[in-house]
């Protein structure tokens, strides 16, 4: 049966800014949060990761429609880095959605009709001065201050990564997003397509993310932070396949 929530058409947008903070956990702490068809995408077989993404989008719309049909939103996403072996035996790296938030009811309404992303509406403000960028949300208990710093920027102090090259492997968004319908034993695969994707490291001056307390995920360790800007982006129509156990 046709399912509207399975991304029935391609969607495009322009990413003005995508800022992603990635947090490390012992892999055992995240295993219970993902469906059995997926595996955790780990580092050193020890750490697993949750990405907190704040994305400013412009002209989000069905692909092929003129830009003036689109809408501008700020999106907040909470995702686990995962991998999936598809029916052809290919290992795909991607993300599993835990929760999504947006600053507008319109996005919540349509997002929950056409996706499984579990959208809710929140307050979010993004402001900047010459030195830093502040992201704040009272409802989501988010308070983040970040800065661009090109001068020998170091990784966060407790990061499990040894350098930015290692850290960049876990810089979301990833090429694929997965959803699992256990009742049908069916995996939904959404592929994102982007160009000029060059994540640049961010300095995190301070950060607080209420989601971790909400989900009882204790002691998150900031592992990296990246930004990309001015990126055309689109999501292909969703594809489903039966999971081969």
In this predicted model, what pLDDT tens digit does every residue of 68-106 receive, in sequence order? 778 888 999 999 999 999 989 999 999 999 999 999 888
Quick one: average pLDDT of 37-48?
97
- Considering the entire predicted model, what is its pTM? 0.93
When the pLDDT of each residue in the chain is averaged and rounded to a whole number, the result is: 90
Region for 222 from its dihedrals, namely left if φ exceeds 0, alpha if ψ lies in -120 to 50, beta otherwise: beta
- pLDDT cut 90: percent of the chain above it: 64
Domain 11-242 has CATH 3.40.50.300: no
C-alpha to C-alpha distance for 227 and 202, rounded to whole angstroms: 7
Q: Which residue has the higher pLDDT, 83 or 233?
A: 83
Residue 7 scores a pLDDT above 80: no
Q: Given this model, what pLDDT does residue 3 score?
A: 67
Question: Domain locations in the chain?
Answer: 11-242
- Does residue 195 contact residue 127 with C-beta atoms inside 8 Å? no
Residue 177 scores a pLDDT above 60: yes
User: Cα angle vertex 113, ends 112, 118, to 5°?
Assistant: 15
C-alpha to C-alpha distance for 161 and 60, rounded to whole angstroms: 34
In this predicted model, what pLDDT tens digit does every residue of 98-129 receive, in sequence order? 999 999 888 887 776 777 778 899 999 999 88
DSSP 110: H
Phi then psi dihedrals of residue 108, to 5 deg: -60, -45
C-alpha to C-alpha distance for 233 and 57, rounded to whole angstroms: 10
- pLDDT cut 70: percent of the chain above it: 96
In this predicted model, what pLDDT tens digit does every residue of 133-157 receive, in sequence order? 999 999 999 999 999 877 679 999 9
Q: Given this model, what pLDDT does residue 1 score?
A: 47
């Amino acid at each position: 049966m046709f399912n509207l929530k399975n991304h029935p058409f391609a969607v495009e947008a322009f990413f003005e800014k995508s800022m992603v903070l990635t947090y490390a956990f012992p892999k055992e702490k995240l295993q219970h949060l993902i469906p059995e068809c997926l595996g955790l995408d780990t580092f050193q077989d020890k750490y697993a990761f949750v990405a907190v993404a704040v994305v400013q989008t412009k002209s989000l719309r069905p692909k092929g429609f003129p830009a003036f049909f689109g809408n501008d939103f700020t999106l907040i996403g909470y995702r686990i880095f995962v991998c999936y072996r598809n029916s052809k035996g290919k290992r795909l790296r991607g993300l599993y959605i835990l929760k999504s938030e947006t600053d507008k009811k319109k996005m919540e309404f349509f997002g929950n009709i056409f996706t499984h992303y579990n959208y809710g509406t929140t307050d979010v403000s993004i402001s900047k001065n010459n030195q830093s960028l502040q992201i704040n949300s009272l409802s989501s208990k988010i308070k983040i201050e970040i800065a661009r710093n090109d001068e020998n920027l170091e990784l966060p102090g407790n990061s499990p990564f040894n350098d930015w090259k290692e850290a960049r492997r876990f810089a979301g968004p990833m090429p694929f997003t997965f959803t699992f319908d256990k009742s049908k034993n069916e995996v939904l695969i959404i592929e994102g397509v982007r160009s000029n994707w060059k994540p640049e490291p961010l300095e995190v001056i301070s950060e607080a993310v209420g989601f971790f307390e909400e989900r009882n995920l204790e002691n998150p360790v900031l592992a990296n932070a990246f930004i990309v800007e001015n990126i055309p982006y689109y999501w292909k129509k969703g594809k489903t396949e039966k999971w081969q156990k």
